[in-house]
Structure 1
Amino acid sequence: MEASKKLWSCIVDSHWPDGLDICEVTLSIFGLIGNFTVTVLLFLLRANNSEALTLLRILSFSSLMSTFIEVVHDEVIPNKSTGNVVFDGLVCVLWSSRFLYWYSKAHVYHSLFYFACNRAIELLQIWTHLITTKKQRLTAFLLLIFISSFLSAAPQFLLAQPHVLNCACALPTENFAILSMIYAHVFLWVAIFGVIYPIILVYICIALLLRLRRRENCALVDELDQLVFVKARSSASCNIADALAVSSPTEAEASIINNPRAAATRGSKDVSARYVWSASFCIIPLSAAYIATFSYDATYQFLSAAGQISYVLHSPAQKFSHILLSLFGSMVPLILFFHIPAMRSLIFVVIVSIGKRCRSVRSTDVGDQLT
């Protein structure tokens, strides 16, 4: 029993909400709004090759579900029994055991990893050495994401004790076999998400940067740069749809920003560099954000499993860990939005639309004054 106390303990959060709780809720709500917006936009985009777009949608949607569970997890703490044995048992097994919480997190991390692998295969031209087709790779990636996410979080079921009054704060059982599996799960979780995935992601990022440096005078062919929005059929949105349907919005940005003086002062190398940094390079800031925000929780869980400290639910250390995890969910939509040209062009569409409305209002006011 002493070993289980070192690994797992729980305290009553009688000071909710404190500063850490408010920070976590704020990040979760911001991430929920941002991920919802980006997910909707991604499902409105179309591409000639849907493999990369599908994995990108999975990443954004999983981040949306993760932030949604975070918001609900911060607001709903089902500690009281309803009297319904079946319902209380399901709540204990799926929610109080934190299975859904960690499943959503694992889904985001696996989605990011396999999305990065997919982009590395395409941009580094590893596909020339593979015998599988793009459709087969996409199917394999999707199966790996969903199956791996479930297997990563399934051991959380071992923490569920429906017969205990306060299931959310129940200590692990004294059964040696179950405790062994719980400890093994923690070490595997840290090894995969805290060591193996970061190493591979860093390797992919370095390989892409080296590839970018070798081809600094020519653009990489990136499918994500060719994403376009579906044109609306209504006449009222015709102009907006035409503005959105830009195959390479970097050209639109250049036409808006470009001017003779700037063109004269910029070197040819600076102009080419603006074109070679493609949308798929979003995996670099995504990987950096993932490593920075997950390292603390990975270290916390590893030290707890090693018996050095205790993983205490509702403690300031555990709340800070969740803040970092929520921060990553909030950064995902921002990184995707500003790296995908089709989404980035929305900023210019909004600016042009606001400018047109301001001019129309001014012309209306002038007309009223003349009459």
Structure 2
Amino acid sequence: MEASTKLWSCRVDSHWPDGLDICEVTLSIFGLIGNFTVTVLLFLLRSKNSEALTLLRVLSFSSLMSTFVEFVHDEVIPNKSTGNVVFDGLVCVLWSSRFLYWYSKAHVYHSLFYFTCNRAIDMLNIRIHLITTKKQRLTAFLLLIFISSFLSAAPQFLLAQPHVPKCACALPTENFAILSMIYAHVFLWVAIFGVIYPIILVYICIALLLRLRRRENCALVDELDQLVFVKARSSASCIISDALAVSSPTEAEASIINNPRAATTSRSKDVSARYVWSASFCIIPLSAAYIVTFSYDATYQFLSAAGQITYVLHSPAQKFSHILLSLFGSMVPLILFFHIPAMRSLIFVVIVSIGKRCRSVRSTDVGDQLT
């Protein structure tokens, strides 16, 4: 019993909400709004190659679900039983055991990892396409994301004790086999998400930056830069689509033929364009944010499993850990929005529409004064 209590314990949160709770709820609300907006925009975008866009949608949708679970987890604390044995058992197994919470987190981390691997394969010209097609690779990535996420969080079921009155704060079990699996799960969780994934992500980011600096004659082609919104039938949607459209290569060639001086300018632009920070480089700030925000919780869990400290639920240290995890969910939509040109162009569309509306109001006021 003594060895098991060193891993985790639970304290009654009688001072809710305190400053840490308010900060966590604020981040959850901001992340929920941001992820919902970006997810809707991603489903409105279209691309010639749907592989990268599909993985990007999965990442954004996973972040949306994670922030939703965080928000509900902060607001809803099921301490009282309803009297329904089946319902209370499901709440204990799925919610009080924190399975849904860590499943949503694992889904985001696996989505980020495989999205990064996908962009590395395309941007670094890895010859994996000789073995598998893009459709097969996308199917494999999606299966790995969902299966790995479930397996990563499944050991949380071992923490559930439906027969205990207070399932959320039940004492750890004394079963040696279950305790061994729980300890092994913690070490594997920290090893995968705290060591292996960060090392691979850092390696990919460094390789991508070196490729960007060293390329001389060939430019990196980024599929995410070619995402466009669906042209709707309404005139307003057509205006937005036209504002977001990028000039085609044929138009650029025609302008050079008509104006020979434009050739020199075009060459200088091509030289500088080779070093443009494209949309796929969003994996660099995403990876950095993931490593920074997850390191604290990984260290906290590792020291708890090693018997140095106790992982105390609802303690200030555990709340601060959740704040950092919530911070990553809030940063994902911001990073994606400002790295994808089609989304970033919406800012200019809004500015132009506001300017036109202001000018129309001014012209109306001037016309009223003249009459």
TM-score by length of 2: 0.93
**Consecutive aligned runs of 4 or more in structure 1 exceeding 4 Å deviation:** 247-271
In structure 2, how many angstroms separate the alpha carbons of the residues matched to 1:254 and 1:28?
Answer: 50
Give the conservation status (yes or no) of the 8 Å contact 1:246–1:342: no
In structure 1, how many angstroms separate the alpha carbons of the residues matched to 2:276 and 2:249?
Answer: 13
Q: Structure 1 136/283 Cα, relative in aligned 2: closer, same or farther at 3 Å?
A: same
Unmatched runs of 5 consecutive residues or more in structure 1: none
Deviations 1:158-193 (A, max 9, x none): 000000011001122100000000000000000000
Deviation at 1:276, TM superposition (A): 2.6
Deviation at 1:241, TM superposition (A): 2.6
In structure 2, how many angstroms separate the alpha carbons of the residues matched to 1:52 and 1:311?
Answer: 38
Give the conservation status (yes or no) of the 8 Å contact 1:249–1:341: no
In structure 1, how many angstroms separate the alpha carbons of the residues matched to 2:17 and 2:171?
Answer: 24
Give the conservation status (yes or no) of the 8 Å contact 1:225–1:340: yes
Deviation at 1:83, TM superposition (A): 0.2
Deviation at 1:240, TM superposition (A): 1.9
Deviation at 1:261, TM superposition (A): 18
Deviation at 1:238, TM superposition (A): 2.3
Q: Structure 1 64/249 Cα, relative in aligned 2: closer, same or farther at 3 Å?
A: farther
In structure 1, how many angstroms separate the alpha carbons of the residues matched to 2:322 and 2:350?
Answer: 35
Give the conservation status (yes or no) of the 8 Å contact 2:213–2:275: no
Q: Structure 1 4/341 Cα, relative in aligned 2: closer, same or farther at 3 Å?
A: same
Deviation at 1:234, TM superposition (A): 1.3
Q: Structure 1 196/16 Cα, relative in aligned 2: closer, same or farther at 3 Å?
A: same
Q: Structure 1 106/367 Cα, relative in aligned 2: closer, same or farther at 3 Å?
A: same
Q: Structure 1 252/302 Cα, relative in aligned 2: closer, same or farther at 3 Å?
A: farther
Q: Structure 1 54/253 Cα, relative in aligned 2: closer, same or farther at 3 Å?
A: farther
The answer to which of 50-59 and 251-260 deviates more is 251-260
Give the conservation status (yes or no) of the 8 Å contact 1:155–1:185: yes
Q: Does 1:361 align with 2:361?
A: yes
Unmatched runs of 5 consecutive residues or more in structure 2: none
Residue 291 (structure 2) aligns with: 291
How many correspondences in the alignment?
Answer: 371
In structure 2, how many angstroms separate the alpha carbons of the residues matched to 1:71 and 1:247?
Answer: 42
Deviation at 1:236, TM superposition (A): 3.7
Deviation at 1:259, TM superposition (A): 19
Deviation at 1:258, TM superposition (A): 21
Q: Structure 1 216/72 Cα, relative in aligned 2: closer, same or farther at 3 Å?
A: farther
Deviation at 1:255, TM superposition (A): 15
The share of aligned pairs that are identical, in percent, is 94
Deviation at 1:205, TM superposition (A): 0.2
Deviations 1:258-279 (A, max 9, x none): 9999999999589715863110
SS at match of 2:17: coil
Give the conservation status (yes or no) of the 8 Å contact 2:256–2:262: no
Deviations 1:319-343 (A, max 9, x none): 0000000000000000000000000
Deviations 1:276-317 (A, max 9, x none): 311000000000000000000000000000000000000000
Residue 193 (structure 2) aligns with: 193
Deviation at 1:129, TM superposition (A): 6.2
Give the conservation status (yes or no) of the 8 Å contact 1:225–1:248: no
In structure 1, how many angstroms separate the alpha carbons of the residues matched to 2:183 and 2:329?
Answer: 27
In structure 2, how many angstroms separate the alpha carbons of the residues matched to 1:144 and 1:135?
Answer: 14
In structure 1, how many angstroms separate the alpha carbons of the residues matched to 2:71 and 2:268?
Answer: 48
The answer to which of 341-350 and 129-138 deviates more is 129-138
TM-score by length of 1: 0.93
Give the conservation status (yes or no) of the 8 Å contact 2:219–2:274: no
Q: Structure 1 153/115 Cα, relative in aligned 2: closer, same or farther at 3 Å?
A: same
In structure 1, how many angstroms separate the alpha carbons of the residues matched to 2:139 and 2:14?
Answer: 47
Q: Structure 1 133/274 Cα, relative in aligned 2: closer, same or farther at 3 Å?
A: closer
Residue 352 (structure 1) aligns with: 352
SS at match of 2:9: strand
Root-mean-square deviation (CA), in Å? 3.8
